Structure 1
């Protein structure tokens, strides 16, 4: 066994097993995206990429995440702004939001 920092022990695995576990699956990976899409543009790119890559990613749900900075009055406001931003993106992509997009936590 390898000893990592703080006394944690991790098992040693063969390189072949590690590579096998890192291999991309033969089918689309089911995923849920939790995003503060209104906060920064990187989440918008991630969302669009996921939705336009059905051969690799099967988006099961999209949750609006809270955030609080100069773009929101508080976490709940940030989450609601993200929710609306997600809906705007889906309209542009002509993807139905019903049963796919959900408001997230308000704190």
Structure 2
């Protein structure tokens, strides 16, 4: 096609009222609306982040549930847990904490 024909088509398109209405609608949907594309993108990223957090916390709950079951059913592990975390001891013993130096 010739350059002049293309120029006429562009000019005709720019003078069309439907073009302006469509362009305005497109701008409105991208930037100004409450459910705009920018907001949808941010919400999508938030959902992905929350799903990762949900997965992490479900795994942590599973680990804690397993630890709780072990502590409820095994007295030696309960005693070990109490000694390590709460520094409990029997009446007739002394507890020494040995810290190894890392090289």
Higher relative contact order (CA 8 A, sep 6+): 1
- TM-score normalized by the length of structure 1: 0.21
* Larger helix fraction of residues: 2
Tell me which protein shows more strand as a share of its residues: 1
TM-score by structure 2 length?
Answer: 0.21
> Greater Rg, structure 1 or structure 2?
2
